[in-house]
């Protein structure tokens, strides 16, 4: 077997291994009893009302976006 064919065969074996690793949902699924980290308050993107308000203000004032959260205005960037 030439070096090129050997490398190609090796690549096929590696690809099969990678596909096998992805083929079963259980390999990547976080099971219900393993969700402690996901349930941590730090994982909540809305955990800080002040930071939310500041982010909305930046979006509203500097990026010509109206925030998409019921904020009035045209998004002209003039506020």
Partner 1 sequence: MVTPLRIPWAAVAGAALALMPAALPAQVKPGDPFPVLDPSVLTGGTLPVTSGKVAFIDFWASWCAPCKASFPAYSQLNAAYAGRGLVIVAVSVDDSPAAFRAFVAKMQPTFATVEDAQHKLVGAVQVPTMPSCYLVDRTGRVRFMHAGFHGGQTEGELRGEIEKLLAEGAPSP
Q: What are the tokens at 17?
A: 């291994």
Question: Residue 52's closest CA among 76, 70, 74, 38?
Answer: 70
Asked if 50 touches partner 1 (CB under 8 A), the answer is no
User: What is d(CA 50, CA 57) in angstroms, rounded to the nearest whole number?
Assistant: 11
Asked if 20 touches partner 1 (CB under 8 A), the answer is yes
In the complex with partner 1, which residue's Cβ is closer, 36 or 50? Answer: 36
Asked if 17 touches partner 1 (CB under 8 A), the answer is yes
User: What is d(CA 70, CA 75) in angstroms, rounded to the nearest whole number?
Assistant: 12
Query: Which residues here bind partner 1, judged by CB under 8 A?
Result: 1, 5, 8-9, 12-13, 16-17, 19-21, 23-24, 26-27, 31-36, 39-40
């Amino acid at each position: 077997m030439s070096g090129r064919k050997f490398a190609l065969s090796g690549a096929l074996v590696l690809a099969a291994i990678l596909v096998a690793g992805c083929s079963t949902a259980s390999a990547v699924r976080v099971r219900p009893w393993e969700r402690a980290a996901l349930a941590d308050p730090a994982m909540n993107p809305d955990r800080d009302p002040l930071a939310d308000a500041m982010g909305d203000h930046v979006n509203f004032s500097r990026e010509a976006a109206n925030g998409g959260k019921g904020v009035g205005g045209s998004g002209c960037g003039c506020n």
